[in-house]
Amino acid sequence: MSELGVGEKPSPTQPARIRSVDGLRALAFMLVFLFHSWEFAGQPRIPVVTDIIGQNTRPDLFVVITGFALYLPFAIDPSRHDRFRTGVYLERRVKRIVVPYYAALVLALVLPYALKLLYGLIGGQANPTETVSIGDLVSHLTFTHMFFPEYWAGINGSLWTMSLEMQLYLLFPLLVWAFARWGMRALLGAAVLSVIWHLMGPLFVQDTFPESFLWGATGIGRLVEFAAGMVAAVVIMRHRERLTPSWMIAAAVVVVAGYALAMWAGSAMGWFPVREIGLSLSFGALIILAIGAAPVERVFALPLVSRLGYVAYSMFLVHQPIVYYFSEFLERGFGMPEGHLQLAVLWTVGLAVVLVVGWVFYRVFERPCIEWSKAAGRRAETTTR
């Protein structure tokens, strides 16, 4: 797959990897890294900065980007709807994500024991290790842990989104089928279904954490965001000649207004998903800006930024246990308490450690799976010609 430069647009004959969209993936990773490291440092207050970070909007941005990336080939070449094969698509998705995910689970399970041994050798005292239950392990291996309040944040707390990701992958063929028949009305219907799902929450779960959160964070609950990404793909590929400077200014206004709506105190309107709707608008418009507005595109397409986005999946998979145990090391090894100083170290040295471990993880686990997935796609293309 070729990589497009700034200003270049993909075409049916040129499969696209858009650097500025990779840059958005980098943003999503940095948001979750900053959020978790801020939590581990005791949530020290930094005006404006921690107000933004504390919202933890990374899962929402990830869902919108996923909808965009999965539907982009169909927006480029509508004839793909007729050639779409669910089995091949799922095979590629499984080969792309499952092995690195399982490797990340192993890392999260083994790391505390390795550190316990290390602390013992140097005469230190490690945190006691907890035995992982069979239910926790099985639910994570089957991507079903989000359906169990007792397991959803087990093993590696950030990997609850892997269950959401798998749900979205399973829903995507239905959306492709619906869009081929009803066009944009299908995506509007998916968004309405998502809102209805949120409103039905009180009938099935208690209004307590994590039950209410998990209900809204399911694949159906996040369909409004997923559909926003698909809409962005359609707008960019089918209506890009209309994306004049005036439209880009309008998109920028939507980015700000949608985010403000999501963060507005009134967004806690019971079960109505104001936050999800606001972030759908904001991040969908941000994708359009990152491709259609040259100044924004140049920022997200910077080589270091886009490269980080390309390996962001590996970085995400390993970041939480690495940052957590690094923060423990700062406290135990250097007597550094939670607070601004520890946060500064986590955001510098800790980030460097995550980048190194994530890069090794990418080379060992993710990169071979990318090639494995591509081979399945090439084989499918050959057999359908």
For residue 277, being part of any structural domain is answered with no
Contact 172, 68 (CB under 8 A): no
For residue 263, being part of any structural domain is answered with no
**Computed over its alpha carbons, how large is the radius of gyration of the chain?**
21
Predicted TM-score (pTM) of the model is 0.91
Query: CA 31, CA 63: separation in Å to the nearest integer?
Result: 14
pLDDT of the chain, 385 residues: tens digit per residue: 445 555 555 554 444 579 999 999 999 999 999 999 999 999 999 988 888 888 888 889 999 999 999 999 999 999 999 999 999 999 999 999 999 999 999 999 999 888 777 766 666 666 666 778 999 999 999 999 999 999 999 999 999 999 999 999 999 999 999 999 999 999 999 999 999 999 999 999 999 999 999 999 999 999 999 999 999 999 998 877 778 889 999 999 999 999 999 988 655 567 899 999 999 999 999 999 999 999 999 999 999 999 999 999 999 999 999 999 999 889 888 899 999 999 999 999 999 999 999 999 999 999 999 999 988 777 656 555 5
For residue 245, being part of any structural domain is answered with no
**Which residues fall within 8 angstroms of residue 304, CB to CB, at 6 or more apart?**
none
Query: CA 143, CA 57: separation in Å to the nearest integer?
Result: 22
**How distant, in Å, are the alpha carbons of 11, 205, 214, 281, 361 from that of 208?**
48, 8, 10, 27, 36
For residue 69, being part of any structural domain is answered with yes
Structure tokens at 82: 């007729």
Q: How large is the greatest C-alpha to C-alpha distance in the chain, in angstroms?
A: 67
Structural domain boundaries, residue 23: 2-230+290-373
Element (H, E) at 107: helix 86-121
Alpha helix stretches (DSSP H) within 208-339:
211-216, 223-238, 245-263, 274-292, 294-300, 303-310, 312-334
For residue 25, being part of any structural domain is answered with yes
Total structural domains in the chain?
1
